[in-house]
């Protein structure tokens, strides 16, 4: 996303009071139109399409009175995004300058904008110095559930899949799940924002590239949408639609050890110890601690990974990890 495009979206967000859903004074709408004019046709289309349909409608209602001015390029782009088809008439030189071709390409392949940062200002600052798990963290975790330290370390090793909890930029590792966002929003974005909302896990897989930059772009894009009933941003829906941190705990499970999703998200930016806290909270809430205390690896794997756990040898992998870690800790004269 170009800086000018980012400033356009920021101006739209600034023009709305998200506590009431009402529009604010005209200055930010004027800025939005001025920024929009500076975009080429393809980016203009992508910028308009990134908005919540409610905000797109609000923006267009301002075009008559905007001091920033609305030219026929903007009107053409708005009609393309709103109607999802090429307008019947082509004003000015849009055909000869290739801008109709841009619109046609957009409709055929509506590549979404890439969001590099949180434009809502609701997420914590990335924590490049986030602490990793330490021996005292594991000792405290083991004491919390009455298990051996070796057991907790073995489960952490296998269940985290070797992941660290944070990317190099200080953001926690996430995976944004389109089908969860679909469920939380009633599927209202399946048509306008298919890269953010899909009815099934399989349908959403094509929108994952494997990079954390892409996962965060999806998250940021979902966060600027809003609930039409109250006008509030969809940030909490987006947060609950992602898995977080070293153990990839789903956001909608925040209640295992947090009172609200906002506090959970703040803590996910803090340390891997908070990721471990969420993992333990899930185990305790679902009454799984005895499977670990008794080394019932199959019972634990079934509860944490589902009935198909054996297909990936989760129980055997945990058993093997426990044996290695336990033996190592005994050699080092550490508490088993």
Instruction: From residue 13, give the alpha-carbon distance in Å to each of 70, 113, 224, 244.
Output: 19, 16, 8, 26
pLDDT band at residue 70 under the 50/70/90 scheme = low
pLDDT of residue 62: 83
Does the pLDDT value for residue 124 go beyond 60? yes
- For the segment 278-332, what is each residue's pLDDT rounded down to a tens digit? 999 999 999 999 999 999 999 999 998 888 888 889 999 999 999 999 999 999 9
- For the segment 88-100, what is each residue's pLDDT rounded down to a tens digit? 999 888 999 999 9
pLDDT of residue 67: 52
Instruction: From residue 77, give the alpha-carbon distance in Å to each of 39, 40, 90, 322.
Output: 11, 10, 11, 60
pLDDT of residue 61: 85
- For the segment 141-194, what is each residue's pLDDT rounded down to a tens digit? 999 999 999 999 999 898 888 788 999 999 999 999 999 999 999 999 999 999
Q: Name the nearest CA neighbour of 13 among 52, 63, 60.
A: 52
CB atoms < 10 A from the CB of 11, how many?
21
- For the segment 16-64, what is each residue's pLDDT rounded down to a tens digit? 766 555 555 555 888 888 899 999 999 999 999 999 999 999 888 887 6
Query: Would you put residue 287 in left (φ > 0), alpha (ψ -120 to 50) or beta?
Result: left
Task: Tell me which of 64-68, 198-202, 258-262 is least confident.
Answer: 64-68
* Helix residue ranges per DSSP H, the chain: 3-14, 27-37, 41-50, 53-61, 72-83, 99-108, 135-145, 149-159, 178-185, 201-204, 212-223, 235-240, 261-268, 272-285, 289-293, 297-305, 314-331
- Determine the average pLDDT of the residues in 72-90: 93
pLDDT band at residue 230 under the 50/70/90 scheme = low
Q: Give the CA count within 13 Å in the CB-facing half-sphere of 218.
A: 30
Q: Name the nearest CA neighbour of 18 among 227, 218, 219.
A: 227
pLDDT of residue 26: 53
pLDDT band at residue 69 under the 50/70/90 scheme = low
């Amino acid at each position: 996303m170009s800086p000018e495009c980012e400033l356009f979206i920021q101006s739209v967000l600034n023009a709305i009071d998200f506590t009431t859903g009402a529009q604010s004074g005209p200055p930010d709408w004027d800025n939005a139109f001025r920024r929009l004019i500076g975009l080429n046709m393809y980016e203009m289309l992508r910028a308009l399409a990134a908005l919540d349909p409610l905000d797109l409608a609000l923006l267009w209602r301002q075009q008559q009175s905007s001091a920033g001015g609305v030219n026929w390029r903007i009107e053409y782009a708005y009609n393309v995004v709103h109607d999802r088809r090429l307008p019947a008439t082509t004003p000015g030189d849009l055909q000869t300058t290739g801008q109709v071709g841009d619109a046609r390409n957009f409709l055929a392949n509506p590549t979404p904008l890439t969001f590099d940062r949180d434009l809502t200002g609701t997420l914590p600052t990335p924590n490049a110095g986030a602490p990793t798990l330490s021996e005292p963290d594991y000792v405290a975790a083991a004491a919390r559930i009455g298990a051996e330290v070796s057991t907790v370390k073995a489960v952490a090793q296998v269940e985290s899949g070797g992941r660290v909890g944070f990317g190099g930029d200080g953001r926690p590792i996430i995976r944004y799940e389109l089908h969860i966002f679909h469920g939380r929003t009633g599927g209202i974005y399946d048509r306008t924002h298919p890269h953010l909302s899909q009815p099934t896990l399989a349908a959403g897989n094509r929108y994952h590239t494997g990079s954390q930059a892409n996962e965060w772009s999806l998250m940021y894009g979902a966060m600027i949408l809003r609930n039409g009933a109250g006008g509030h941003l969809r940030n909490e829906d987006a947060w609950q639609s992602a898995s977080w941190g070293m153990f990839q705990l789903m956001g909608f499970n925040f209640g295992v050890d947090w009172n609200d999703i906002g506090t959970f998200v703040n803590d996910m930016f803090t340390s891997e110890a908070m990721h471990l806290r969420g993992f333990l909270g899930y185990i305790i809430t679902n009454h799984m601690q005895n499977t670990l205390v008794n080394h019932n690896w199959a019972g634990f794997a079934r509860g944490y990974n589902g009935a198909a756990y054996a297909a990936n040898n989760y129980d055997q992998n945990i058993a093997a990890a426990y044996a290695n870690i336990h033996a190592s800790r005994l050699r080092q004269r550490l508490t088993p």
